[in-house]
Chains A and B, each alone.
Chain A
Amino acid sequence: MFKKSLFFAVALVSMTGVAEARDQIKIVGSSTVYPFSTVVAEQFGKTTSFKTPVVESTGSGGGLKLFCAGIGVKHPDITNASRRIKKKEVERCEKNGITDIVEVKVGYDGIVVANSKKSEMFKLTRKDLFLALAKDIPAGEGKLQPNPHKTWKDVNSSLPAVKIEVLGPPPTSGTRDAFAELALEGGCKKFKWIKAMKKGDKALGIKKDKKAYKRLCHTVREDGAYIEAGENDNMIISKLEANPKALGIFGYSFLDQNADKVQGSTIGGNAPTFENIADGSYPVSRPLYFYVKKAHIGVIPGIEEYMQEFAAEKTSGPDGYLGDKGLISMGDVERARRKEIVMNLGNLKLN
């Protein structure tokens, strides 16, 4: 039996032939960039003579892992990321022979903290968010206590006396990472002695302890106030509708499309609007990227043209079609720099 099945498997494999040449771009990576990347892929497929690229949603980390696995038709050509590539990942790429990578910044994505329109809009600060959602919060200088806050009023007396209930993505999500980094850490840094931990401060007599700093600022409480609601943002929105007291964390594009059901809280006095995210006054926004394997350009047809389509003004410029999908475009200077990178295929430089 075993022999037979082995024979069958071998026959099948030899029949189909080992991976042949590919004439279609393969894209993997972030689920946040996926809705934008697919729009461009579709446009690209319709307006050029190239095939429509295949876009997989694997998450930023998963995408970079596949991307860095090697050069050749069986590896993806492009990976999307909702954060910048890490040094470790660049090294992994180099180890597998991928030394030339082009980094293209797509634009920005705001992360919103929203609630149902049936309730009053929240006016939050990053410090409020940190004090409401961190696992441990400061109790005086240099001391910590497990987060005791039960209602938003406990956090900040100007907020309503509503139980803290926040629906958000699980730890595997890039949105969660970005939220922790931008919102929680942003609020955490407001405490001087915590901020001092990052770099060390002799005057305050605080030693440098980056690890402890990160642990303190990025760890989300696990006592039920933060509810992991899965990666599906539509589900978070329908849960907010059912529970008007809860807040939810998701990407700006979902707020944009569901403005009839949910409203974004202001953070530090700035509402999550297209303009505020674009000019940076709304603090919780992150850049989105895609990375291109230079060795595949010229081997797989259409990669350069795809990059140009993505970087074109009609795509990701201020009035581009990605704007309709909720992408926040970059400023003039950044767009000019990107254009140059796409034209000259400039190599990625991590500083």
Chain B
Amino acid sequence: MTEMTFQMPDLPKGLAKRHKAEKRFRLMALASVLLGLIFLAVLFINVLTSGADAIRQSKVRLDINLQINDFGGSKGPDIQQLKNANYQGIIKRTIYKNFPEVKSRRDKRGLYRLVSSGAAYELREFVLDDPSKIGTSISIWLPASDDVDMIMKGKVSRTASSDVRRLSDQQMEWLEKLEAEGNLETKFNWTLFSSGDSREPELAGVAAAMVGSLYSIIVCLIISFPLGVMAALYLESFAPKNRFTSFIEVNINNLAAVPSIVFGLLGLAVFLNFFELPRSAPLVGGMVLSLMTMPTIIIAGRVAIQGVPPSIKEAALAEGASPVQAVFHHVLPLAMPGVLTGTIIGTARALGETAPLLMIGMVAFVVDVPKSILDPATALPVQVYLWSDMPEKGFAERTSAAILVLLAFVGLMNLTAVLLRKKFEIRW
């Protein structure tokens, strides 16, 4: 008591200083959180604003007369005739009819350039889907070329010089006429989600990349989840504590920090060159990614298993369960939320990885949506990377759109992780 009164005079001064330090620290912490949030917001808004435009695509409405003659004349054309019909010719004929004043070959070509080169293939798809339309007139919206699209979206000024616009004054006139007649509009861009890569921005989509990513992640999970969980269980519950196991432990921790490109090199050397698995296949992509996620799963799994109170296992053992039964019936189910969270976070990281895929040939131009894990495929982050390096302006917005799709994927996975933890988490 006496000692305290002796110290009293000093205390207020020190206390004020400590309070100040406390306040300063809190402010700094808050500022760093806010700064982080601002960075995130700027990034997100930037991607969102530039990606939002890719959701819409300029389309031209054409009233096409599908004459029976176009498909070989007979009433019931065979599939080959349907496939090989001159759809480009049909579209040209229709456009030229709308602009009867266009006569010269050169002008006609300029006019046809307003429509995407992919329009003919869309018309083909339409006819193949429903051959009964042959012989009738249809009204169909077909994609406009990317130069038109950029003008329609205001990415390129209408009054810019023709060099900059990449459209001549005459083409602008036609464009404005089409627009005034209500035959040129921006519509929802389904193509972005339904088709594979293309060199024409208006025809490019993320479907092939999305499916490729999905296959890779499934393969990755099938391999890394059981292996990772078993390894975690073994190291935590069964492994004797000796030099060998601690050596393994150190290595697993190191493995989690290895740059991902190294796993790509490993994949190239082992999976492609030694096992001769096909290049560019999601199977190999998934295998390489599983090497990457496995250490994460093992580490997260071990932490989760450590979190289960030893009394549970001991009680099971006391009741006569074998060690394996005790672990599989009691410890693992209780540790599962933590294990799953670790797995999902590890997989979400793998989802955003391009470097290892570069080495095994998944950084490629793939048009066809892969049908199996052996078909050539790319992944979403690869698609972002490839599109960002394309000269056409239309790809800039599509790059952002692909980033948004990737972010949505990753966000969904993280949300699952949070929900799983919320639902199954047990507090001791």
Which A positions have Cβ atoms within 8 angstroms of B?
1, 4-5, 8, 12-13, 16, 18-20, 22, 24, 26, 28, 31, 34-35, 37-39, 41-42, 45-46, 51-52, 54-57, 74, 231-234, 251, 253-254, 256-260, 321, 325-326
| Chain-A contact segment, one of B60-68, B94-102, B391-399, B404-412 | B391-399
| Chain-A contact segment, one of B259-267, B271-279, B322-330 | B271-279
In the assembled complex, which residues on chain A have CB atoms less than 8 Å from the CB atom of B392? Answer: 257
Expressed in whole angstroms, the Cα–Cα distance for A20 and B276 within the complex equals 10
B386 at the interface (CB under 8 A from A): yes
Expressed in whole angstroms, the Cα–Cα distance for A321 and B113 within the complex equals 11
In the assembled complex, which residues on chain B have CB atoms less than 8 Å from the CB atom of A325? Answer: 199, 391
Expressed in whole angstroms, the Cα–Cα distance for A8 and B294 within the complex equals 14
In the assembled complex, which residues on chain A have CB atoms less than 8 Å from the CB atom of B276? Answer: 18-19, 74
The one of B163, B278, B389, B396 that contacts A31, using a Cβ cutoff of 8 Å = B389
In the assembled complex, which residues on chain A have CB atoms less than 8 Å from the CB atom of B117? Answer: 321
**Contact indicator A74/B279 (Cβ below 8 Å):** yes
Expressed in whole angstroms, the Cα–Cα distance for A325 and B117 within the complex equals 13
Closest CB-CB distance, B221 to chain A, in whole Å? 14
The one of B163, B198, B367, B396 that contacts A259, using a Cβ cutoff of 8 Å = B163
Closest CB-CB distance, B280 to chain A, in whole Å? 6
Expressed in whole angstroms, the Cα–Cα distance for A25 and B250 within the complex equals 45
Q: Given the interface contacts A19-B278, A39-B199, A52-B367, does A257 sit within 8 Å of B393 by beta carbon?
A: yes
Expressed in whole angstroms, the Cα–Cα distance for A210 and B392 within the complex equals 41
| Chain-A contact segment, one of B13-21, B226-234, B341-349 | B226-234
**Contact indicator B223/A54 (Cβ below 8 Å):** no
In the assembled complex, which residues on chain A have CB atoms less than 8 Å from the CB atom of B275? Answer: 13, 18
Expressed in whole angstroms, the Cα–Cα distance for A54 and B280 within the complex equals 9
In the assembled complex, which residues on chain B have CB atoms less than 8 Å from the CB atom of A258? Answer: 391, 393
B363 at the interface (CB under 8 A from A): yes
In the assembled complex, which residues on chain B have CB atoms less than 8 Å from the CB atom of A259? Answer: 163-164, 166
**Contact indicator A8/B227 (Cβ below 8 Å):** yes
B364 at the interface (CB under 8 A from A): yes
**Contact indicator B366/A16 (Cβ below 8 Å):** no
B121 at the interface (CB under 8 A from A): yes
**Contact indicator A74/B278 (Cβ below 8 Å):** yes
**Contact indicator B160/A260 (Cβ below 8 Å):** yes
Of all chain B residues, the one with the shortest Cβ separation from A235 is B388
B365 at the interface (CB under 8 A from A): yes
**Contact indicator B391/A46 (Cβ below 8 Å):** no
Q: List 25 A-B contacts (CB under 8 A).
A: A1-B231, A8-B223, A12-B287, A16-B277, A16-B373, A18-B277, A26-B376, A37-B365, A42-B199, A45-B367, A46-B121, A52-B367, A55-B364, A56-B364, A57-B364, A74-B272, A74-B276, A231-B389, A233-B389, A253-B391, A258-B393, A259-B163, A259-B166, A325-B199, A325-B391
Task: Mark out the residues of chain B between 337 and 366 whose CB falls within 8 Å of any chain A CB in the assembled complex.
Answer: 361, 363-366
In the assembled complex, which residues on chain B have CB atoms less than 8 Å from the CB atom of A52? Answer: 366-368
**Contact indicator A35/B160 (Cβ below 8 Å):** no
**Contact indicator A56/B277 (Cβ below 8 Å):** no
B128-159 interface mask toward A, CB cutoff 8 Å, 1 = contact, 0 = none? 00000000000000000000000000001100
Expressed in whole angstroms, the Cα–Cα distance for A39 and B197 within the complex equals 11
The one of B164, B200, B277, B366 that contacts A260, using a Cβ cutoff of 8 Å = B164
Expressed in whole angstroms, the Cα–Cα distance for A296 and B364 within the complex equals 20
**Contact indicator B230/A257 (Cβ below 8 Å):** no
Closest CB-CB distance, A258 to chain B, in whole Å? 7
Expressed in whole angstroms, the Cα–Cα distance for A147 and B198 within the complex equals 45
B283 at the interface (CB under 8 A from A): yes
In the assembled complex, which residues on chain B have CB atoms less than 8 Å from the CB atom of A39? Answer: 199
Expressed in whole angstroms, the Cα–Cα distance for A46 and B367 within the complex equals 10
In the assembled complex, which residues on chain B have CB atoms less than 8 Å from the CB atom of A51? Answer: 368
**Contact indicator A56/B363 (Cβ below 8 Å):** yes
In the assembled complex, which residues on chain B have CB atoms less than 8 Å from the CB atom of A257? Answer: 166, 391-393
**Contact indicator A41/B279 (Cβ below 8 Å):** no
**Contact indicator A56/B361 (Cβ below 8 Å):** yes
**Contact indicator B367/A26 (Cβ below 8 Å):** no
B374 at the interface (CB under 8 A from A): yes
Q: Given the interface contacts A8-B223, A253-B391, does A54 sit within 8 Å of B156 by beta carbon?
A: no
Of all chain A residues, the one with the shortest Cβ separation from B234 is A1
Closest CB-CB distance, B26 to chain A, in whole Å? 37
Q: A55-B364, A234-B391, A259-B166 are in contact. List 12 more A-B contacts (CB 8 A).
A: A4-B227, A4-B230, A16-B283, A19-B277, A20-B374, A26-B376, A38-B365, A39-B199, A52-B366, A56-B364, A74-B278, A260-B156
Expressed in whole angstroms, the Cα–Cα distance for A45 and B118 within the complex equals 12
B31 at the interface (CB under 8 A from A): no
Expressed in whole angstroms, the Cα–Cα distance for A12 and B374 within the complex equals 13
In the assembled complex, which residues on chain B have CB atoms less than 8 Å from the CB atom of A12? Answer: 223, 287
In the assembled complex, which residues on chain B have CB atoms less than 8 Å from the CB atom of A55? Answer: 364-365
Closest CB-CB distance, B150 to chain A, in whole Å? 10
Closest 9 CB pairs of A and B: A55-B365, A260-B164, A52-B367, A257-B391, A56-B364, A38-B365, A54-B376, A39-B199, A253-B391
**Contact indicator A34/B365 (Cβ below 8 Å):** yes
Expressed in whole angstroms, the Cα–Cα distance for A58 and B197 within the complex equals 18
The one of A16, A19, A24 that contacts B376, using a Cβ cutoff of 8 Å = A24
